[in-house]
Every structure is written in C-alpha cells, then in structure tokens.
Chain A
Amino acid sequence: AQSVTQLDSHVSVSEGTPVLLRCNYSSSYSPSLFWYVQHPNKGLQLLLKYTSAATLVKGINGFEAEFKKSETSFHLTKPSAHMSDAAEYFCVVSDRMEYGNKLVFGAGTILRVKS
C-alpha cells in the first residue's frame, strides 16, 4: 500500500532564507509524486510533479524537489522564501502506471514566512 509522511506539520522561516519541506513515501516501483500548495481560502494548485524523467523537478515560483529512490524521499525546496509562499503544502503519491484511483495525500505542512 502507498503512504506519504510529511515530517513537519509546521515550518517557520524568515523571508529570504531557504525553505525545506520534507516528504517520505512508500509506493510501488513506479511512483508519481506531486507537491500541491493551498493558499488560505483557496483550492489546491499543482507546484510540481515527478513521473519518471529527471529526478530533480522544477516547479512554479522557484520551487523544486528531488526524487531520491534510495531514501524514498521527495523533499520540496526553495532557495529564498517570499512572504507570498506562506501556505499549506501537500505531498501526494500515486502509482504512475495504475489505471485507477490510488492517490494518497500527506497530512500537510503549514509554511509560515516571517518578515
């Protein structure tokens, strides 16, 4: 069975400093991994996804994530936080070749950015 663990429920950084949001997963040998962002009172928006190509994935707004199979991790990073990055972030795993439904969401990480 697939599962996702977001290791921090809350992360607080200062504006201009790096962001690291951690995600570990368990899945079949062909996972797809996604990061979604949810700003207050908004729906979820895709930040980036990994399917099977390059292990370093670049997303919107300067975010990137690296798929590390040996560590079963897909951590989200950004070199310099901006106030507008304050939001909740969800790591999601699915089976890439599955014709079906198996999407599993992490519990979410709330990112706070201090001025």
Chain B
Amino acid sequence: EAQVTQNPRYLITVTGKKLTVTCSQNMNHEYMSWYRQDPGLGLRQIYYSMNVEVTDKGDVPEGYKVSRKEKRNFPLILESPSPNQTSLYFCASRKNTGASGANVLTFGAGSRLTVL
C-alpha cells in the first residue's frame, strides 16, 4: 500500500530532551515536507526537501532540523524542544516531475507531540 509512515504517533517529552520524529514514504516521491498544525492556523510548513540532500526552510523552521540522506526518509529533529513546539505534526510527500504543482500530496497520519 502506498503510504507515508510517521513515528511516533504520540509523544510526551520534557523541555530540552532531544527527539526525532521519523517519516518514511514508499512511493519513490522526490518531494517531502513537514508541517505543524495548530488550532485556527491551518498547516504551516516547517521544512521541505525537493530531493535527496536538498532541504530548505519553510515558514516556521526555528527550533527544528531535518535531513534527507535517502529518498524515502525525511526525519524531523527537535534538538532542544520547548513547550511552544507542542503541536500536531504531519509529514507529506509528492512527485516532483512534470507540472509538479498539480501533483497531490500524500500525508502521514500525524504525530502529536507534547512538550512539558
């Protein structure tokens, strides 16, 4: 089944304790992206990657890191989490060929993170 898989789905952690949220897709998509969802704000992009070894900041990158060493994986790293990073996180991917703006994003199921 074509899918984007995120782990963990739920996590409670404490301020300053490094954590990684993994994201993996099995559709050979070039483009991957991380979003956070907060009430009333919709989805805001954290980082994105056009292809392997190519990453760039989205709208709200502060406090986050990413890497894209392999095409299928795009982990989100919080080096020193803070309470304002408590949120629902989504990873998504799509093909980046042709008229790529028309390609559909496939989303993971989400990771709910609470930072105490």
Contacts and interface: CB of A to CB of B under 8 A. Distances in A.
B100 interface: yes
A100 B100 contact: yes
Interface in B79-108: 90, 92, 96, 99-102, 104-105, 107-108
B52 interface: no
Nearest to B110: A43
* Main SS at interface, chain A: loop
Contacts of A46: 104-105
Interface stretch (A13-21, A63-71, A76-84, A101-109): A101-109
Contact-residue bracket for chain B:
20 to 34
Interface in A72-115: 90, 94-103, 105-108
Contacts of B107: 36, 43-45
29 contacts: A32-B101, A32-B102, A34-B104, A34-B105, A43-B4, A43-B110, A44-B92, A45-B107, A49-B102, A49-B104, A51-B99, A96-B99, A99-B96, A100-B50, A100-B101, A101-B31, A101-B33, A101-B48, A101-B50, A101-B56, A101-B58, A102-B101, A103-B33, A105-B43, A105-B44, A107-B40, A107-B41, A107-B42, A108-B40
Nearest to B39: A108
A46 B101 CA distance: 15
B102 to A, nearest CB: 4
Instruction: Give chain A's interface residue range (CB within 8 Å of chain B).
Output: 20 to 34
Given A101-B31, A101-B48, A90 B42 contact: yes
